[in-house]
Amino acid sequence: MTSKTGFSFPQSRLQEIAAEILGYAQKKGASACETDISEGFGQSVAVRRGIVDTIEYNRDKGIGLTVYLGQRRGQASTSDFSRAALRSAVDAALSIARFTAPDPCAGLADAELMAHDCPDLDLFHPWEIEVDEALALARRCEEAAFAVDPRISNSEGANVSTQQSHFVSANSNGFMGGFASTRHSLSCAVIAGEGDAMQREFWHDSRRDATELIAVEDVGRIAGERALARLGARKIRTRSAPIVFEAPIAVGLIGHLAQAASGGALYRRSSFLLDALGQQVFSPVVNVSERPHIPKVFGTSWFDHDGVATQAREIVTGGVLNGYFLSTYTARKLGMQTTGNAGGSHNLRVAGGADDLAGLLKKMDKGLLVTELLGHGVNYVTGDYSRGAVGYWVEKGQIKYPVQEVSIAGNLRDMFRTIVAIGNDALPCGAKHCGSVLIERMKIAGS
């Protein structure tokens, strides 16, 4: 493996490769072409019960390209950066395009929509950490979990990971852009045991800049405390009750919004949010914004996968849905304009209220705090929602005991509209930010 302190290719070389691909594709008769060239590397270590479990290194590179012959499209990819391989990939894509049926929605975004002014967003913060140092951090993390209580009896491991990548995207409508970025993470998962009962929990943190990660001892301690708190978990009787989704899983509700409001789901008519623009989809307390240009965070970019400039938007205002998430292709399918969301949403943020998690529990008074969801029971066509759940039963605003082996059910339409409050406890890691969410009532299936 080459040195882990830098990329094998400078950004300028990726730009040269992109220009070569575009030029050759046009020379061979393509009416349009787009390409992505990327390179990444990193390392990840894990320890389990103080013993080295894994040491992994990764280094990869790749090129993907799409050519157009009018409205016919062909795609190819390669991991070989040589000129012969580049030309072979273009030729292969052109051959595919010749035998592909025309698609009236295929093609590049309009040139005037392309991003051209792309200042540095401060996304690249290399962490020069040796393997032995990373292993020492992982051991400290796990030791902190074990130190919480003797009942922390086993571990699934502590992990320290650092990744660097850079890329260039370009197309024949005059766009070329790219940047380098980093992702560093810590995690720990441990098991608490008491008699025959065992409970597993974990905690993690992830940042662009390793200096902003929470202390490894805190990651381990939180994982240990969460595992310990779940000992003595029991079922509860089947009922309907208020639900609080803890912040780490509440972001999933915003993920459901992004999926249901995505162009792909909408043009296939596989979303419960069809024709929902301008409608009251959420309760009035919900405000969701898209902020693609915040420096140093995940989900930030000046452009989407089509090269279209991204924009700050208010997706939901006072519960009203103002916008979908559309790429060039899906927008054409819907007879609409792209929103700069090819590849997904960019840094979604849900405005929090005045309460933290403890405040939401007091507001709920009596109900279920959900801290983990199991299964994938979400139907985006109907909005039906059914998931296994783990958490805590709350009475008089205080946690009374842990709960397991229950499921919660409802419909996303009703869940969105009956959000009572959103907490101010959103976690900083990830490209979606949402505090804990209190929902007025859901069905709980237990004993």
In a shared domain, residues 217 and 268: no
Range of the domain at 89: 11-229
User: Is residue 4 scored above 90 in pLDDT?
Assistant: no
Residue at 1 is within a domain:
no
Give me the residues paired with residue 171 across strands.
34
pLDDT score at 276:
96
Number of domains composing the chain? 2
DSSP letter string, 17-79: HHHHHHHHHHHTT-SEEEEEEEEEEEEEEEEETTEEEEEEEEEEEEEEEEEEETTEEEEEEES
One-letter amino acid identity for 345?
Answer: S
Instruction: Using DSSP bridges, classify how beta strands 437-445 and 398-411 pair: parallel, antiparallel or unpaired.
Output: antiparallel
Nearest Cα neighbor of 130 from 220, 3, 40, 9 is 3
Asked if residue 186 belongs to a domain, the reply is yes
Say whether both 210 and 271 belong to one domain.
Answer: no
Are 293 and 367 part of one and the same domain? Answer: yes
CATH number at residue 188: 3.30.2290.10
Query: Using the 8-state DSSP alphabet, how is residue 352 labeled?
Result: P
Domain membership of residue 381 (yes or no) is yes
CA distance 185 to 141: 12
> Looking at the structure, do residues 34 and 179 belong to the same domain, yes or no?
yes
**Do 281 and 213 have their domain in common?**
no
pTM of this prediction? 0.93
Same domain as 213, residue 76: yes
Assess whether 284 and 398 both reside in one domain: yes
Residues 191-208 pLDDT 10s:
999 888 899 999 999 999
Q: Quickly count: other Cβ atoms within 10 Å of residue 278's Cβ.
A: 9
End position of a domain, from candidates 229, 256, 271: 229
**CB atoms < 10 A from the CB of 23, how many?**
13
CB-based contact 288:254 (threshold 8 Å)? yes
Start-to-end CA distance of the chain, whole Å, equals 55
234 inside domain: no
Q: Quick one: pLDDT at residue 118?
A: 86
Instruction: Please check whether residues 129 and 48 belong to one and the same domain.
Output: yes
* Residue ending a domain, choose from 229, 254, 272: 229
Together in a domain, 301 and 190: no
CA distances from 159 to 48, 81, 156, 187, 249 (A): 9, 33, 10, 5, 21
Are 64 and 94 part of one and the same domain? yes
Q: Is residue 209 part of a domain?
A: yes
Structural domain contains residue 5 = no
Contacts of 242 by beta carbon, 8 Å cutoff, 6+ apart: 364, 365, 366, 367, 368, 420, 438, 439, 440, 441, 442
At residue 196, the pLDDT reads: 84
Question: How is 71-135 classified by DSSP, letter by letter?
Answer: TEEEEEEES--SHHHHHHHHHHHHHHHHTSPP-TT-SPPPGGGB----------------HHHHH
The length of the chain in residues reads 447
Residue 273 lies in a domain: yes
Asked if the structure places residue 392 within a domain, the reply is: yes
Average pLDDT rounded to a whole number, residues 93-105: 97
Q: Of 179, 205, 229, which residue is a domain's last?
A: 229
| pLDDT tens-digit series, residues 357-374 | 999 999 999 999 999 999
For residue 85, the model assigns a pLDDT of 97
Q: Same domain for 309 and 170?
A: no
Banded model confidence at residue 221, pLDDT cuts 50, 70, 90: very high
* Cβ–Cβ under 8 Å, residues 223 and 202: yes
Q: Are residues 151 and 45 in the same domain?
A: yes
